[in-house]
């Protein structure tokens, strides 16, 4: 199946000049959803993954399903103030300013082999911060996966040294 054809382009969203890659059209197509999940699972099966960490919010969709298939726990990374217990925080640079993400302090720890998942790799700042959070908590980033990679933004450079899988590349 051509998974790219299952993704809708939305021009000028969220701001003028951006072509947003809308994955809801892939998610509602059960064949595309299943094939994508199978490809992501094939990347990570038999790797000893103990936790799948999904990045807010679309990273939760495949992240949760992958955790189930891998017999691993699922841990969310969220924007500040969204998690109810004690957290670790990591800031990262945006084109104009900074942002940050958080994980529960007890979400992952020593001995955990983590698969980090998000829907999209663009400039790599969010995933780089997520890797730092996992390592700050004492766990190992074993693999990173994405549904979509925007190769022209070179986000992979910030993730040098990690095993990475992207299902769809633009």
Q: Which of the residues 31, 86, 95, 163 is marked catalytic?
A: 95
Catalytic residue list contains 58: yes
* 149 counts as catalytic: no
Q: Which residues contact 78 (CB under 8 A, 6 or more apart)?
A: 56, 101, 102, 103
58, 102, 128, 149: the catalytic one is 58
Beta-bridge mates of residue 93: 98
- Kindly list the catalytic residues: 58, 95
């Amino acid at each position: 199946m051509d998974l790219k054809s299952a993704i809708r382009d939305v021009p000028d969203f969220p701001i003028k000049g951006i072509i947003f890659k809308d994955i809801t059209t892939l998610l509602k197509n059960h064949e595309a959803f299943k094939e994508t999940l199978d490809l992501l699972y094939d990347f990570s099966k038999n790797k000893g993954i103990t936790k799948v960490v999904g990045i807010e919010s679309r990273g939760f969709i495949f992240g949760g399903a992958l955790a189930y298939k891998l017999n691993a726990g699922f841990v969310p990374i969220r924007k500040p103030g969204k998690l109810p217990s004690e957290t670790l925080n990591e800031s990262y640079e945006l084109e104009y300013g900074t942002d940050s993400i958080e994980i529960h302090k007890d979400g992952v720890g020593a001995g955990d082999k983590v698969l980090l998942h998000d829907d999209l790799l663009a400039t790599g700042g969010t995933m780089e911060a997520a890797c730092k959070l996992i390592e700050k908590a004492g766990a190992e980033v074993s693999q990173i996966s994405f549904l979509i990679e925007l190769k022209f933004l070179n986000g992979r450079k910030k993730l040098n040294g990690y095993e990475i899988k992207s299902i769809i590349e633009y």
